[in-house]
Amino acid sequence: MLEFEPDGWLRHVAPTPLLMIVAAKDTCTFPEFQLEAFDRAREPKRLIMHPGGHFDTYTTYFQETSQAALDWFAEHLVA
């Protein structure tokens, strides 16, 4: 896992839409690195942040984060 560096692939993502959901108090994937990666990513992109930790994305903030994902997919996966 420590050898995996997804940031190097960011330039290959665009023009595929990128949605990043970042937890401000994430101790698993460190928000400062995620935000740096988001800044380097090209459009179209969107950032959703919540004040919780990593797993709060799927529990405490699930309504907010899942709705943001649904909206993003509805916008960008139109057939």
- 12-55 tens-digit pLDDT: 888 889 999 999 999 998 999 999 999 999 999 999 999 999 99
Which DSSP string do the residues of 29-53 spell out, in sequence order?
S-HHHHHHHHHHSPSSEEEEEESS-
Question: CA 22 from chain center: how many Å?
Answer: 6
Average pLDDT over residues 56-61: 97
- Structure pTM? 0.84
